[in-house]
Amino acid sequence: MLVIAGELGIHIHLSKRVLSAFQDDADRKSVTVHETDRATMEAGDAVAAVGGDGTMLSAAGLARPIQRPLLGINSGKLGFLANIQRQDLSVALHDVASGNYELDTRNFIEAEFSNGEIHYALNEFVFSRHGSVSMITLSAEYDGEFINRYWADGVIVSSPTGSTAYNLSTGGPIVVPQTDVMVLTPISPHTLTTRPLVLPCEKDLTIRVDPADQKVLFSGDGNNHDLPAVSPEVKIRKSASIMQLIKLSGQSYFETLRNKLMWGADMRDER
């Protein structure tokens, strides 16, 4: 990667934490090393995240306060966000260097605790049972109106970007990223008629731990956060914070769905 960047006149900024991954890369003339990830991101014009979607989520969280666009290079498995394959890296970097790309804007969602604490997620917030095999009970309200009381292993509140992640695995719908909605999806609900719900994101969705003494794990994009011991309720809404994903010429969301989820593929052809 450093060799290709050097040939294209792209200057690379690396943090000491990830420097070892590039020890065998030949060209170091176009590289500056920084002490921290934050300093590294602030020094560059864009952030390249090499890994899977988990790496992209971590990079998005770090880049959120400084608003740097993200280039996702997939070295993981599925990769909906990290959608540039390693074999296409040379072409991708050439397109970025020549300005042949678009910025695909995605909104974060934010969760406000009853104590005023705020957390952000690009994909989803998850309420799940913690330290027990017993189900938990959660109440949901939208704009102050009661929706349902869920008796389940938990619930997921997903952004459109996160609809192809945990939400999809639990039977939730795929939502086109530019759609202004949130998806409320129960995890293994005890009532079979309890289904995922798509909600406008203009108002607050409130999830309340009810009763409050249950052991509930709350996480945003895989990062755990302690719920307030008193009045454990969370208001979730669309955030003003955005992530800009570098989208190369010819890339299509629906093409990504077809390729990643193998839509239209005939498994008999593999025999």
Compute the distance between CA of residue 214 and CA of residue 33 in angstroms, rounded to an integer.
46
Q: Give the number of domains in the chain.
A: 2
The CATH number of the domain holding residue 231 is 2.60.200.30
Pair (225, 260) in one structural domain: no
Domain range for 205 is: 109-239
Q: What pLDDT, in 10s, does the model give residues 101-136? A: 999 999 999 999 999 999 999 999 999 998 888 899
Report pLDDT for 103: 95
Compute the distance between CA of residue 197 and CA of residue 219 in angstroms, rounded to an integer.
20
What the block records as the tokens of 258 is 């077809």
Compute the distance between CA of residue 210 and CA of residue 152 in angstroms, rounded to an integer.
12
Pair (89, 196) in one structural domain: no
Which residues belong to the annotated binding site for NAD(+)? 53-54, 123-124, 153, 164-169, 223
Pair (174, 253) in one structural domain: no
Compute the distance between CA of residue 15 and CA of residue 76 in angstroms, rounded to an integer.
21
Pair (181, 261) in one structural domain: no
First to last CA, the chain: 37
Choose, from 37, 53, 104, 221, the residue flagged as catalytic. 53
Pair (113, 167) in one structural domain: yes
Pair (150, 176) in one structural domain: yes
Closest among 106, 113, 197 to 157, alpha carbons compared: 197
Pair (233, 116) in one structural domain: yes
**Residue 271, pLDDT above cutoff 60:** no
Pair (11, 55) in one structural domain: yes
Per DSSP, the chain holds a count of helices (H) and strands (E) of: 7, 17
Q: What pLDDT, in 10s, does the model give residues 183-236? A: 999 999 999 899 999 999 999 999 999 999 899 999 999 999 999 988 899 999
Which residues belong to the annotated binding site? 53-54, 123-124, 153, 164-169, 223
What the block records as the tokens of 104 is 């695909």
Active site annotation includes 53: yes
Computed from CA positions of residues 114, 118, 121, 122, in that sequence, does the dihedral angle turn out positive or negative? positive
Pair (130, 63) in one structural domain: no
State which amino acid sits at residue 198: V
Compute the distance between CA of residue 149 and CA of residue 9 in angstroms, rounded to an integer.
57
Report pLDDT for 231: 82
Compute the distance between CA of residue 213 and CA of residue 54 in angstroms, rounded to an integer.
31
Closest among 163, 166, 157, 195 to 176, alpha carbons compared: 163
Q: Determine the 3-state secondary structure of 2 from DSSP.
A: helix
Report pLDDT for 28: 64
Pair (151, 248) in one structural domain: no
Pair (228, 116) in one structural domain: yes
Q: Determine the 3-state secondary structure of 250 from DSSP.
A: coil
Compute the distance between CA of residue 5 and CA of residue 263 in angstroms, rounded to an integer.
35
Q: What pLDDT, in 10s, does the model give residues 78-91? A: 778 888 888 888 99
Q: Specify the higher pLDDT residue, 215 or 24.
A: 215
pTM of the model: 0.91
**Residue 257, pLDDT above cutoff 80:** yes
Pair (95, 155) in one structural domain: no
The CATH number of the domain holding residue 75 is 3.40.50.10330
Closest among 193, 186, 182, 151 to 171, alpha carbons compared: 186
